[in-house]
Amino acid sequence: MPSSMPCVRPKFDRKWAEMPQNRTAIVAGAGVAGLTTAIALRRSGFDVTVYERAEGMRSGGFGLSVMSNAVAALDSLGIDLDLEQRGRALERYYVKDSRGKLIREFPFPEIIARLGVPSVCIGRGDLLATLRDQEPDLPVVFGAAAERFEVSGDRVRLYLAEGREVEADVLIGADGFHSAIRRQLNGPEEGWRESGYIVWLGITDYAHPRFEPGSVVHFWGDGKRFGLVDIGHGRLYWWATENMPLARAQEWSGGRADLLDRYRGWAEEVVEAIRITPEDSLTSVITRDRPFIDRWGSGPVTLVGDAAHPMLTSLGQGAAMAIEDAAILAEQIGGADDISSALRAYEDGRRDRTRAVVEATRAISDFEQSQGPVRRRFRDAYFRLMPHRALVARLEPALTFPGHMTPGRTVRGGTSDTPSAIVEG
Ligand SMILES: Cc1cc2nc3c(=O)[nH]c(=O)nc-3n(C[C@H](O)[C@H](O)[C@H](O)COP(=O)(O)OP(=O)(O)OC[C@H]3O[C@@H](n4cnc5c(N)ncnc54)[C@H](O)[C@@H]3O)c2cc1C
């Protein structure tokens, strides 16, 4: 964390010697949620082992933004990922129409400056590798799918595929959207809500005279969008969406030629991004969320990340919420003598915020995908005409890690004198 980032107020500062010792934790899943939680628990004095279904660490993948609230949460755990060196700090954020005409410049840089904590865009594999580097000797057992657990007194036993069993004082379900731990806690799948559109993802070396370094640029069309994201080191991560029934989205196998066809006539920097992306660096995904669940745990078991609160992608906050979960979990459990009570306190502390972000993401996602001339014009005009103050007030809460950030302090490159009323508005 740069020394010019004084706004994070660590809450978790109990000395190692004061922490209860010899406690053990099992984390199911080695994604962003699992790795961050494992590091946090280790630093809280737990002996942690991560069990991951996949055969190895995910190395490739596409990009993502680690927004200021997530960077602040990492900092509160004493984790400095040096993200700005590994990815690219977000410096400007534009929303344009499909031909490249500006709809609105979003005030993320202003908010980020006032909060004093950067937001960084980075390759997903790089983020995971960076987390892993924090605790190189953290045991991660691959090819170990969690199937079910059994609580007995204060202890929990996890049953893994192929008949293996492990036992600990705590079990954290960080096993993503289709979490086995969640399924056991909440009964059969509660159902999920599809986004209503397909998402294509690409990653490539890229430079374009109309694409400024440090930019995130969204292009909004008719039931279609395209995003260009600078992830640093001359690399671009892009995503594209199009409203599409699920069955057709699942069958899509079109490749680059099909995408060039679908985005013909869009801004030249969009077409260029598709044109130069190697065919094997391009894929499609189906995005979905779930109706929010209130029950995240029982006894010594709880959930973090997508296992607890999967969300759509419009606010770029899924991984950030997972990182916040890990920070609050560590805060609650770090010095606690009663683990179950600490886990319930963690869940109580996270429910309202994550529910709000899940629902806000769903609402903004539906609005952004507006289709038809009337809805589309309304969407563009809505954002073009929204008062600056109102836009800031809408964007800022997600970027603020509650209770841990004090806006208005010195930041890299100077001080912000923006009235704090905007923050509160
Ligand atoms: C297209 C797209 C763009 C996104 N962009 C952003 C963004 O810009 N910013 C942001 O913050 N978020 C973003 N997100 C959301 C973010 O990717 C997720 O919220 C985040 O990855 C969730 O992390 P997780 O560790 O909870 O789950 P996952 O990343 O799904 O990790 C779960 C892990 O558990 C493992 N696992 C699964 N089942 C088991 C089992 N039974 N036993 C053991 N292991 C198991 C999996 O193999 C996986 O490694 C985006 C998502 C998508 C799809």
Position in ligand 1 atom list of the atom nearest CA 33: 25
Residue nearest atom 3 in ligand 1 by C-alpha distance: 313
CA of 376 to the centre of ligand 1 (A): 31
> Does 158 sit in the ligand 1 pocket, CB within 6 Å?
no
> Does 322 sit in the ligand 1 pocket, CB within 6 Å?
yes
CB under 8 Å to 235, separation ≥6 — which residues? 123, 203, 204, 205, 206
Could you tell me if residue 354 is inside a domain?
A: yes
Interval 104-161: pLDDT, tens: 999 999 999 999 999 999 999 999 999 999 999 999 999 999 999 999 999 999 999 9
Interval 42-74: pLDDT, tens: 999 999 999 999 998 876 679 999 999 999 999
CA of 275 to the centre of ligand 1 (A): 28
Distance CA 371, CA 220 (A): 10
Could you tell me if residue 281 is inside a domain?
A: no
Beta bridge partners of 160: 146
Could you tell me if residue 282 is inside a domain?
A: no
Domain around 127: 16-191+290-424
**Backbone torsions φ then ψ of 408, nearest 5 degrees:** 95, 5
Q: What's the chain's average pLDDT?
A: 90
CATH code: domain of residue 93:
3.50.50.60
Residue 425 binned pLDDT confidence (cut-offs 50, 70, 90): very low
> Does 230 sit in the ligand 1 pocket, CB within 6 Å?
no
Residue 417 binned pLDDT confidence (cut-offs 50, 70, 90): very low
Query: 261 is written with which tokens?
Result: 């066809």
Could you tell me if residue 208 is inside a domain?
A: no
β-strands 102-105, 301-303 pairing = unpaired
> Does 65 sit in the ligand 1 pocket, CB within 6 Å?
yes
CA of 392 to the centre of ligand 1 (A): 28
β-strands 46-51, 23-28 pairing = parallel
What's the pLDDT at 9? 42
CA of 265 to the centre of ligand 1 (A): 34
Q: Give the residue from 172, 147, 167, 239 showing the smallest Cα distance to 202.
A: 239
CA of 102 to the centre of ligand 1 (A): 32
The count of domains in the chain is 1
Could you tell me if residue 126 is inside a domain?
A: yes
Query: Quick one: average pLDDT of 356-377?
Result: 96
∠ CA(42), CA(130), CA(213), 5° rounding? 145
> Does 315 sit in the ligand 1 pocket, CB within 6 Å?
no
pTM of the model: 0.92
> Does 313 sit in the ligand 1 pocket, CB within 6 Å?
yes
CA of 297 to the centre of ligand 1 (A): 19
Residue type, 23: R
Could you tell me if residue 143 is inside a domain?
A: yes
Could you tell me if residue 226 is inside a domain?
A: no
Residue nearest atom 53 in ligand 1 by C-alpha distance: 287
N residues, the chain = 425
> Does 308 sit in the ligand 1 pocket, CB within 6 Å?
no
β-sheet with 155-160: strand ranges across: 146-152, 155-160, 165-168
Could you tell me if residue 98 is inside a domain?
A: yes
Residue nearest atom 4 in ligand 1 by C-alpha distance: 313
What's the pLDDT at 314? 93
Residue 215 near residue 243, CB atoms below 8 Å: no
Interval 276-322: pLDDT, tens: 999 999 999 999 999 999 999 999 999 999 999 999 999 999 999 99
Percent of the chain with pLDDT over 90: 82
Position in ligand 1 atom list of the atom nearest CA 178: 38
> Does 320 sit in the ligand 1 pocket, CB within 6 Å?
yes
